[in-house]
Amino acid sequence: MARATIVTVGNELLSGDVENTNGSWLGRRLAELGVEVTMIAVIADQIERVASFVREQAAAVDVVVVTGGLGGTPDDVTRESIAAAFGVAQVEVTDVAARLRERFAGDPEYAARWALLPEGSRPLEIPNGGAPGFAIENVYVLPGLPAEMEAMFETIADEVRDGAPIGTWRRTYRTTESRIVEVLEEVTARHPDVLVGSYPSFAGGVAEVEVVIKSGDPAALAAATAWLEPALASATSS
């Protein structure tokens, strides 16, 4: 199974001024494509920090997806960062710059800055979008605006797809984790090819736990589910 790292760039994410919805959306979408996300990282708008992290992750996993920092203001440093990560210059992609100048005729030279992409990269564009994304080796760089990011990701989804979706089984039980911990430990030991998670909540005076298991192997997921459901039913009914 292919492995991926998601990198979201922006001081606004670190400060909590903006929710990291892109990271969550990409995590779900990559799982649907059969890709295991091993890390979601938030990096400040600092060229060397982004460059160093992306360089490290590009060597460690199969796919790196980067979002944010593609505009034209001083805090938009992702193009420069990815160029530094790969040790290449930024060059204007002539046809992309021409389309941007035409699309943003009110301020064409500002928009044309977005076409200064790392040398050797492949532009990624969507109709009516703003700044283009790009791909270089196994790194895909997308805009930060969620609607544009999601639309652009779909243009490269088939490139990163790696087999069957990661399957999920989930149920919510009116119980506490302490009452079902032994069941969770045993299913983890019996079925090492599935990921087991438990997420407690306590609202309105009612304790609940959502139990989630995931696997890219449908047979492994089915076997774990077949054992887990009756075991949890027994543990939560006593």
Provide the residue ranges of all domains of the chain, joining segments of one domain with +. 3-160, 167-237
- Give the largest Cα separation in the chain, rounded: 70
Instruction: Please tell me whether the overall predicted TM-score, pTM, comes out greater than 0.85 for this model.
Output: yes
Asked whether residue 191 carries a pLDDT value surpassing 90, the answer given is yes
Q: Which DSSP category does 232 fall into?
A: H
Angle subtended at Cα 116 by Cα 110 and Cα 122, rounded to the nearest 5 degrees: 130
Specify the fold of 167-237: Alpha-Beta Plaits (3.30.70)
Q: What is the pLDDT of residues 35-55, one digit of tens each?
A: 999 999 999 999 999 999 999
Instruction: Report how far residue 53's alpha carbon sits from residue 202's, in angstroms, rounded to the nearest whole number.
Output: 38
> 218-237 vs 177-190: helix axis angle to the nearest 10?
150
**Going by CATH, does the domain composed of 3-160 fall within 3.40.980.10?**
yes
Q: What are phi and psi of 142, to 5 degrees?
A: -125, 160
- Token readout for 102 is 């035409």
Give the tens place of pLDDT for each residue, 148-190: 999 999 999 999 999 889 999 999 999 999 999 999 999 999 9
